Amino acid sequence: MQDYQAILEEIHESLRKFENTGEVASYIPELADIPKDKFGIHLQLITGENYSVGDAAEKFSIQSISKVLSLAKAFQLVGNDLLERVDVEPSGNPFNHLSLLELENGIPRNPLINSGAIVVADVLLSHLKNPKEDFLNFVRELAHDKTISYNAKIAESERITGFNNYAAANLLKAYGNLHNKVEDVLDFYFHQCSIMMDCRQLTNAFFVFANKGKCLKNIQHLTSSQVKRINAIMLTCGFYDEAGEFAFEVGLPGKSGVGGGIVALLPHCFTIATWAPALNPKGNSYLGMQALEQFTTKTKLSIF
Ligand code: DON
């Protein structure tokens, strides 16, 4: 077996010395003050071994990474009916882009851009009895961790400055692709994005996508067909207009968030999460992208 701990330490050490030209997301004011030099990596093998380096045990706001978890819950609840309201094509556009939504009559390109995730949030609102509580419980169950919670301050901070998401939700409503009230759907969406997790908790929660739908405790949450589809969507749409670059350099399904987190996985082999809050111009973690590129290059482990 490869010396994974040594590989993570080598990557961490080499990138620490790198001049980090990224910027911490400031359009959500509550995220603007997170120190730029935080940097953690956690790797979990499907066989149960765990390896950690740096700030891997510090919680951060998972932001768009939550879109994969809400998609999983929506698939669980409504199956392929979801695809009538959201497409599965890469957008080649930034995560908050609106013009395609209008051109394509209110059907978002995919569930991982903001408009798509807002439709998914609407589906959860229609099908869950206590949407925020039930969704949080789902994430806790996947990760086997009751300490995972929303961050009300971050959710409120995003609500106050969330003009773009209000525009997306209003457009969706105008096209008849939002069944609940704009304010209620966005309240749910801002909360899901505010969930706080550390790198290890992310590798726990995403284990289900590396293990044919079974979580860490071997409970079947998703069918293998649903897992195949969710992984395909992560690979093609998980990094917005940098999805091609991530597939090219890293070669794994994954998802980023503007909190600086990235989670990626190799089916039947491992899940890995990185956190480094400074983002590149496309809104993906500057160091995280490079760390994962180094990891799959050094270990020769990728889907290709
Ligand atoms: O809707 C937003 O703008 C944020 N709550 C999430 C954006 C995000 O994380 C994009 N990811 N890279």
Q: Is residue 197 in a domain? A: yes
Is the pLDDT at 119 greater than 90? The verdict is yes
Is the pLDDT at 77 greater than 90? The verdict is yes
pLDDT at 94: 83
pLDDT at 100: 86
Q: The whole model's pTM is what?
A: 0.97
Q: Is residue 279 in a domain? A: yes
Q: Is residue 245 in a domain? A: yes
Mean pLDDT over the full length of the chain: 96
Q: What average pLDDT score do residues 258-273 get?
A: 98
Q: Is residue 69 in a domain? A: yes
Q: How many domains does the chain have?
A: 1
For 211-228, the pLDDT digits (tens) are 999 999 999 999 999 999
Of the candidates 289, 293, 291, 283, the one whose C-alpha atom is nearest the C-alpha of residue 23 is 283
| 189 is an annotated ligand-binding site residue | yes
Q: How far is the CA of 245 from the centre of ligand 1 (A)?
A: 19
Verify whether ligand 1 is closer than 6 Å to residue 116 (CB atom): no
For 158-197, the pLDDT digits (tens) are 999 999 999 999 999 999 999 999 999 999 999 999 999 9
Select from 23, 30, 64 the residue to mutate for testing ligand 1; criterion: most ligand atoms less than 8 Å from CB: 64
Alpha carbon distance 302, 30 (integer Å):
35
Q: What average pLDDT score do residues 62-79 get?
A: 98
| Coil vs helix vs strand at 264 | strand
Q: Is residue 304 in a domain? A: no
Verify whether ligand 1 is closer than 6 Å to residue 283 (CB atom): yes
Q: What angle do CA 14, 62, 122 make, to 5 degrees?
A: 150
pLDDT at 169: 97
The edge-to-edge listing of strands for the beta sheet with 50-54 is 50-54, 40-45, 270-275, 261-266, 254-256
Select from 69, 172, 258 the residue to mutate for testing ligand 1; criterion: most ligand atoms less than 8 Å from CB: 258
Percent of the chain's residues with pLDDT above 70: 100
> Per-residue DSSP letters for 160-212?
HH-HHHHHHHHHHHHTT---S-HHHHHHHHHHHHH-EE-HHHHHHHTHHHHTT
Verify whether ligand 1 is closer than 6 Å to residue 188 (CB atom): no
C-beta separation of 145 from 203 below 8 A = no
Q: Is residue 154 in a domain? A: yes
Closest atom of ligand 1 relative to the 95 alpha carbon? 10
Verify whether ligand 1 is closer than 6 Å to residue 165 (CB atom): yes
pLDDT at 81: 96
CATH number at residue 202: 3.40.710.10
Confidence at 89, pLDDT banded by 50, 70, 90:
very high
Closest atom of ligand 1 relative to the 190 alpha carbon? 5
pLDDT at 97: 85
For 227-243, the pLDDT digits (tens) are 999 999 999 999 989 99
For 103-115, the pLDDT digits (tens) are 899 999 999 999 9
Alpha-carbon dihedral sign for residues 87, 91, 96, 102:
negative
Q: Is residue 91 in a domain? A: yes
Token pair for residue 82?
């979801």
| Coil vs helix vs strand at 266 | strand
Confidence at 86, pLDDT banded by 50, 70, 90:
very high
Domain span at residue 70 reads 4-299
For 144-160, the pLDDT digits (tens) are 999 999 999 999 999 99
Q: Is residue 233 in a domain? A: yes
Question: Which runs of consecutive H residues, i.e. helices, occur in the chain?
Answer: 4-16, 66-78, 99-103, 114-127, 131-143, 152-161, 163-174, 182-194, 199-205, 207-210, 224-237, 243-249, 286-299
Of the candidates 269, 272, 270, the one whose C-alpha atom is nearest the C-alpha of residue 292 is 272
Distances (CA, A) of 296 to 30, 246, 271, 299: 33, 11, 12, 5
